[in-house]
């Protein structure tokens, strides 16, 4: 079992552990009983995770109170779902001694984490991510949030988990599309922080697509390590942490404009190509875009905006980006593979609006 | 002008200032423009505060975007109001560079503070409390929260203000009932932490009721100092901070059971007498209850539960108290006037259920 400690001064213990081991899920409940004997346990999961059998693996013969998000996915990542979870906790007389156990993908983690952040002014949360995207991304960093009826992540909080358990065997129940889309956050980590890790993807692409356990454990560990090292330096995203949004400005807009027909990772892949095109236009490209596009194509994700997405709508959404300042978001760009660009001390930089609009046209 | 710095390691600067000065409100907007030049300002207030003229005093010739809570008061302290504020911010394209300015009483501060805590994962908030209760209580501590359809403060977060401005002249527009009820949190501060401050109330009761500016400034400063010293030691209410809930366990339940016909401070007054009766029953009373009851009576607040409140309902509400552990809340008790009781290192202690139910009967 690999263990990684994420150093976050905000949490009581000063850090929290991430445990990574294939096949470990069936032992987690016993561990929670031992580690949190005084807390009332409440599971938040979704209908897909239940159908995949992961809830049964986690709880065994136990029958804790729970909330299963239905329908699963982005459509339920809404403040109304959080209200539903909290009202269920209240009806069951849960108090501040609650432990919320989030079992599922990124949306389960975001919803359950945010519910934990605001229920009775905050209760402990354990995250058990079961998808490639959540094991790469949401295990570390404490970002939680849900959408309003108007935009993504309008509601949110920084709320660190108390422990994270990663079992890469849960990835076996994902279909190929979800599995591959979730790997894109890892590619993004490689691009912003570690050129050797990018080469790891190039070398091991076949083993990855065959879902080789050892390779997936290595990827999980690498993703958590890179993200932890960034988050530790800037837990509340004042500056450096923004590099984790590489590919996300355009990516988020495409995701919203697609009505969430496209998966998050698929949109980030398109956003990574968009950012690469911006870099080339600004003379920062260095000819690497082909190499990046090749690995994304091997991972079977789209690298262009689908024709059916309306460009005007896309630009309107970019203006409402959660990191917008004066109604226009800044962009994270690369200096080279493995290194995000820092300009005048800032990791997210202004890009000319006309240039962005031009790239959005070229990206179709 | 008095200035008090509240030391909170969680805030970026390590502390935030509270400025206390009679007649200062008309100069606050200029100061905000100077102190927060880069932030987009959004005012949250309520219909009462607007009618009292305080909004006009604050903004002068400016016309910032704003949200006026209507109807004012506890009935609007609901998650739906927070959603309304955040959707209005989104529609006006406000981003992370938002400064929320909360002008009003405790509910305005709670609602606006919580909106600030969860909008885009947190934006800066300036608190300008305009009532006795909010100047005594909610200026310090960073507790924010709103009710669900099931119980009080089901949703909440610890979110420290960036600056607090207190102008005791805003208290002149309160009616006598609100003015007096709001003073009870100050009496509570005296009871748990400062016997000389309790004597200050006894000596200055006439000047207080005449709303003498200097006496009210002294009270504001004393309240903020006592609360700050407690909160600094225990910002997230792990233990010591619970003493601030003296009188609140029964008080909150009475408040809810009354359908919020009674004011918060009135209910805390009843809760203080209830706690005193528990102390007497447990042999901890020391004959001080008469003295406490006398000052509360002079402040013209009720000291008994109104007959129309149903006792069974009251007990059910006590079970759902926000600090409930295993479906029964702990109680803060006094050792003597000016000193809360600590038992086995705990500032909130178990009290026999039968005893509490008996006291609730006697308290009618």
pLDDT in tens, B78-101: 999 999 999 999 999 998 999 999
B54 is catalytic: no
Q: Does domain B2-173 have CATH number 3.90.1640.30?
A: no
Residues of chain B found within 8 Å of residue A96, distances taken between Cβ atoms: 322-325
Q: What percent of chain A has pLDDT over 90?
A: 79
Q: Residue B78: which of B67, B69, B87, B90 has the closest Cα?
A: B69
Tell if the CB–CB gap between A319 and B86 is shorter than 8 Å: no
| For range A128-153, the mean pLDDT | 90
The full set of domain ranges for chain B reads 2-173, 176-362
CA distance A98 to chain B (A): 9
Q: B322 pLDDT exceeds 60? A: no
Tell if the CB–CB gap between A121 and B93 is shorter than 8 Å: no
pLDDT at B324: 61
pLDDT at A152: 80
pLDDT at A163: 96
pLDDT at A186: 96
Q: A235 pLDDT exceeds 90? A: no
Q: Between the CA of residue B330 and those of A220, B334, B343, B351, what are the distances in Å?
A: 43, 13, 12, 7
Does the ipTM exceed 0.90? Answer: no
pLDDT at A151: 83
Distance, in Å, from the CA atom of B14 to the CA atom of A77, rounded to the nearest integer, reads 34
Q: Where are the alpha helices (DSSP H) in chain A?
A: 28-35, 47-51, 54-59, 79-91, 106-118, 132-133, 176-193, 195-203, 205-209, 213-233, 248-257, 264-281, 289-298, 311-319, 353-362
On whether the CB atoms of residues B348 and B330 are closer than 8 A, the answer is yes
By the CB < 8 Å criterion, does B87 face chain A? yes
A252 is catalytic: yes
Tell if the CB–CB gap between A120 and B93 is shorter than 8 Å: no
- What's the gap between Cα A155 and its chain centre? 16
Tell if the CB–CB gap between B120 and A156 is shorter than 8 Å: yes
Query: Of the candidates B79, B83, B145, which has its C-beta nearest A148's C-beta?
Result: B83
Tell if the CB–CB gap between B322 and A96 is shorter than 8 Å: yes
A153 is catalytic: no
On whether the CB atoms of residues B272 and B302 are closer than 8 A, the answer is no
* Least confident interval from A270-279, B96-105, B237-246: B237-246
User: Which strand (E) or helix (H) includes residue B290?
Assistant: helix B289-298
| For range A287-303, the mean pLDDT | 96
| For range B111-128, the mean pLDDT | 97
Q: Do domains B2-173 and B176-362 have the same CATH topology?
A: no
By the CB < 8 Å criterion, does A23 face chain B? no
Q: A274 pLDDT exceeds 80? A: yes
Query: Of the candidates A120, A154, A327, which has its C-beta nearest B156's C-beta?
Result: A120
Q: B271 pLDDT exceeds 60? A: yes
Query: Of the candidates B149, B158, B325, which has its C-beta nearest A97's C-beta?
Result: B325
By the CB < 8 Å criterion, does B142 face chain A? no
A241 is catalytic: yes
Query: Of the candidates A83, A96, A148, which has its C-beta nearest B323's C-beta?
Result: A96
Tell if the CB–CB gap between A96 and B325 is shorter than 8 Å: yes
Q: B326 pLDDT exceeds 70? A: no
Q: Residue A45: which of A61, A67, A77, A65 has the closest Cα?
A: A67
Distance, in Å, from the CA atom of B154 to the CA atom of B151, rounded to the nearest integer, reads 6
| For range B191-197, the mean pLDDT | 96
Q: In the CATH scheme, what is the code of domain A176-362?
A: 1.20.1090.10
On whether the CB atoms of residues A115 and A44 are closer than 8 A, the answer is yes
Contacting residues for B263 by C-beta, under 8 A, at least 6 apart: B133, B177, B178, B181, B182
User: Of B222, B227, B242, B330, which residue is the catalytic one?
Assistant: B227
Query: Whole-number mean pLDDT of chain A?
Result: 93
Q: B306 pLDDT exceeds 60? A: yes
CA distance B249 to chain A (A): 14
| For range B357-361, the mean pLDDT | 92
Distance, in Å, from the CA atom of B155 to the CA atom of B192, rounded to the nearest integer, reads 27
> What is the Cα gyration radius of chain B?
20
| For range A305-310, the mean pLDDT | 94
Tell if the CB–CB gap between A157 and B83 is shorter than 8 Å: no
Q: For tokens 């960034």, what's the residue?
A: A230
Local structure of residue A27 (DSSP, 8 states):
G
By the CB < 8 Å criterion, does B11 face chain A? no
pLDDT at B181: 96
User: Of A143, A188, A189, A222, which residue is the catalytic one?
Assistant: A143
B245 is catalytic: yes
On whether the CB atoms of residues B198 and B191 are closer than 8 A, the answer is yes
A54 is catalytic: no
By the CB < 8 Å criterion, does A92 face chain B? no
By the CB < 8 Å criterion, does B91 face chain A? yes
Which tens digits make up the pLDDT trace of A66-77?
Answer: 999 999 988 899
pLDDT at B233: 86
pLDDT at A326: 62
- This prediction has a pTM of 0.87
């Amino acid at each position: 079992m690999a263990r990684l400690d994420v150093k976050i001064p905000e949490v009581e213990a000063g850090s929290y552990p991430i445990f990574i081991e294939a096949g470990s899920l069936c032992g987690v409940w016993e561990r929670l009983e031992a580690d949190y004997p005084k807390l009332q346990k409440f599971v938040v999961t979704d209908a897909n995770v239940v159908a995949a059998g992961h809830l049964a693996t986690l709880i065994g013969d136990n029958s804790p109170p729970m909330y299963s998000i239905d329908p699963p996915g982005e459509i339920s990542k809404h403040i109304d779902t959080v209200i539903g979870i909290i009202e269920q906790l209240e009806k069951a007389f849960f108090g501040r001694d609650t432990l919320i156990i989030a079992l599922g993908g990124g949306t389960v983690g975001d919803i359950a984490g945010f519910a934990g952040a605001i229920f009775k002014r905050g209760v402990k949360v354990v995250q058990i991510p079961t998808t490639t995207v959540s094991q790469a991304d949401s295990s570390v960093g404490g970002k939680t949030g849900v959408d309003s009826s108007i935009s993504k992540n309008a509601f949110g909080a920084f709320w660190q988990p108390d422990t994270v358990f990663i079992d890469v065997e849960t990835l076996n129940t994902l279909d190929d599309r979800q599995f591959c889309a979730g790997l894109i956050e890892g590619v993004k980590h490689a691009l912003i922080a570690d050129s050797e890790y990018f080469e790891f993807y190039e070398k091991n692409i076949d083993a990855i697509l065959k879902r080789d356990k050892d390779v997936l454990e290595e990827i999980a560990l690498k993703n958590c390590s890179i993200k932890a090292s960034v988050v530790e330096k800037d837990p509340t995203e004042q500056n450096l942490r923004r590099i984790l949004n590489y590919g996300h400005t355009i990516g988020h807009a495409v995701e919203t404009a697609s009505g969430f027909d496209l998966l998050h990772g698929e949109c980030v892949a398109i956003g990574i190509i968009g950012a690469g095109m911006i870099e080339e236009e600004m003379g920062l490209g260095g000819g690497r875009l082909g190499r990046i596009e090749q690995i994304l194509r091997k991972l079977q994700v789209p690298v262009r905006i689908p024709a059916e997405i309306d460009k005007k709508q896309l630009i309107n959404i970019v203006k409402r980006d959660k990191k917008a300042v004066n109604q226009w978001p800044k962009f994270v760009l690369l200096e080279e593979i493995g290194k995000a660009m820092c300009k005048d001390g800032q990791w997210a930089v202004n890009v000319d609006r006309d240039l962005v609009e031009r790239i959005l046209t070229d990206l179709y």
